[in-house]
Amino acid sequence: MQFENPSQSENGLQFKNSPEFARKMDKQDPIGAMRTQFHIPKHSDGSDEIYLCGNSLGLQPKKTEEYLAFELSQWQKYGVKGHFTGDYPWMPYHEFLSEGFAELVGANKSEVVAMNSLTANLHFMMVSFYRPTASRHKILIEDHAFPSDHYAVESQIKFHGYDPKESMILIKPRDGEETIRHQDILDIIEKEGDSIALIMLPGVQYYTGQVFRMKEITEAGHNKGCMVGFDLAHAAGNIVMQLHDWNVDFACWCSYKYLNSGPGSVAGCFVHERHHSDENIPRFAGWWGHDKSNRFKMENSFKPMHSAEAWQLSNPPILSLAAIRASLDTIKEAGGIRKLAEKSRKLTDYLRFLLKDELGEDIKILTPENEQEYGSQLSLTVDTHGIDGKVIFERIEQAGVTGDWRYPNVIRVAPVPLYNSFEDCYRFVQILKTSLEEK
C-alpha cells in the first residue's frame, strides 16, 4: 500500500511516500550525477545493488583506477627516480592530500597528515597526549566504544602501570535508553574531570549513528584540564567539523568508509597547531617526522617538523595515497563536505520518514532525531512478531540490499550522498517491508 501523506522535514521539504516523489527528488538533486563517478556493485539479476554500507566500506570512485595506474606507470618508467619526477612525485606525496583532509575536518593544512592506520594513530596520539599522573590518570571513553578503541585505551593504561578498572571511566546510556545524553557527558566531565587525563570519544558512534557534540565536549574537558581527542572513523566525510576552531587536541580517522579510498587504506590524523612547537612532547618518533630540510643527512638527532607531519614514522605507501587522492578529488568535484552534508540530511530525513510511515510499529530507529546528533547512518532494530533481526538482514541482502549487521541486533544503513539516491531509500524500505511480511 502506498501512502501519499506529506510530511514536513527538518529542512522544509514536503516528503511523500511514493516512487514518483523519490524520482522527482533525484532529478532535482544538484549532485545526483556524482553516482556515475562510482562503480556500483550488481545484484544477481544484473541490476544495481542498493548499497547502503558506505559507513563500513565506501564504493570505488572511477578516478581510483586511473590514479593507481598512473603511479604504476611512474614506477615502471622511473624506478627510484619516481620519488622526484612528475606532477606527483612520491617524496612529498602525502602533502597532496593535506588540503583535502583539512577541508573535511575543518583544520589548517599543517594540522593534518595521512599516515598509518586508525588504531595505530590512536596509539601514537596517546603516547603524546595521555600523560598520567598519580592524581590524573583516567581516560573517559564510552562503554560501547568500537572494540579496537577500547583495547587501545586499556592497553595504554596498562602500559603506564595503572589498572583499567580504576583508570577507565565508561560512560553509557541511561537504563532503558540506547544513546548517551549529551548532558550526561558534560556532567561526568564536571564531576570526574580533575582525575581525567584524557577524554577520547567518537565523533559519530559506530553502533547507533549518534553524533557527539565535539565542540562542547572539548570546551568542558579543557575547562577541567583534560586533553581531548576524537575517533572520527564514522565522522570524516560524513558530517561538517571545525576541529581547529573547536580546539580539539587530536583526532584520527580511517579513509575507507565515507572517504572511499579502499579496504585498509591509509588513515588520517589531526594535531592542533598549538602542540606543533613543543619539541619536548613525548612521542614515538620515526625518520619521516624529522625536519624535511635535512632529513637525508641521516644524523641521529631527531628534530621534529612543526606540523602534524612530525608524528609520521615512515614513508607512506604511495598506491594507497593515490586512492585517497582520487577520493578527495571526487569529493571536491561534488562541491565539498558542506554540499555532501546538505544532501545527506535530505536523504537521511527522507529515509527516516519512509521507515516511520511504512514500518513505524515494526522498526525501531536508534539514531537520534535531534538535528545535531545524526549524519548519514540510521541504526535499526526489528521489533515485530518475534522475528530475528539477523533473518531480516539476510532477506534484504538476498533481495539486493547491502547494509551492515552488528551484534546483537542492529541493522545499520547509510544513504551516502555521493552515490546513493532517494529512489534507493524508497526501494530499500519496500524491500524491508516485504522481508518483514514473509513467514
Instruction: Assign 115 a pLDDT band (cuts: 50, 70, 90).
Output: very high
Asked whether the predicted pLDDT for residue 388 surpasses 90, the reply is no
Q: Name the grid cell of 185.
A: 557527558
pLDDT of residue 272: 98
Question: What is the average pLDDT across 239-263?
Answer: 98
Q: What is the pTM of this model?
A: 0.95
Does the domain spanning 7-60+336-437 belong to CATH 3.90.1150.10?
yes
Return the amino acid letter for 271.
Answer: V
Give the number of other Cβ atoms within 10 Å of residue 23's Cβ.
Answer: 14
Give the number of other Cβ atoms within 10 Å of residue 44's Cβ.
Answer: 8
d(CA 400, CA 405): 15
pLDDT of residue 409: 87
Per residue in 133-154, pLDDT (tens digit) is 999 999 999 999 999 999 999 9
**113, 98 contact by CB (below 8 A):** yes
Question: At 365, is the secondary structure helix, strand, or coil?
Answer: strand
Asked whether the predicted pLDDT for residue 340 surpasses 90, the reply is yes
Please choose, from the candidates 86, 90, 77, 24, the residue with its C-alpha nearest in 3D space to the C-alpha of residue 314. Answer: 90
Return the amino acid letter for 294.
Answer: N
Q: Name the grid cell of 328.
A: 578527495
**204, 210 contact by CB (below 8 A):** yes
Location of each CATH 3.40.640.10 domain in the chain = 66-333
CA 77 to chain centre: 36
Asked whether the predicted pLDDT for residue 289 surpasses 50, the reply is yes
Location of each CATH 3.90.1150.10 domain in the chain = 7-60+336-437
**363, 383 contact by CB (below 8 A):** yes
Instruction: Assign 1 a pLDDT band (cuts: 50, 70, 90).
Output: very low
d(CA 290, CA 307): 11
d(CA 296, CA 275): 25
pLDDT of residue 9: 53
DSSP state of 60: P
Please choose, from the candidates 151, 293, 146, 164, the residue with its C-alpha nearest in 3D space to the C-alpha of residue 205. Answer: 146
pLDDT of residue 241: 98
pLDDT of residue 280: 85
Query: How many Å is the Cα radius of gyration of the chain?
Result: 23
Q: Name the grid cell of 427.
A: 526501494
Helix, strand and coil content of the chain, in percent to the nearest 5, comes to 45, 15, 40
**296, 63 contact by CB (below 8 A):** no
Query: How many alpha carbons fall within 13 Å on the CB side of residue 54?
Result: 30
The better pLDDT of the pair 10, 165 is held by 165
pLDDT of residue 385: 61
pLDDT of residue 5: 46
Does the domain spanning 66-333 belong to CATH 3.90.580.10?
no
Question: At 301, is the secondary structure helix, strand, or coil?
Answer: coil
Question: What is the average pLDDT across 89-109?
Answer: 98
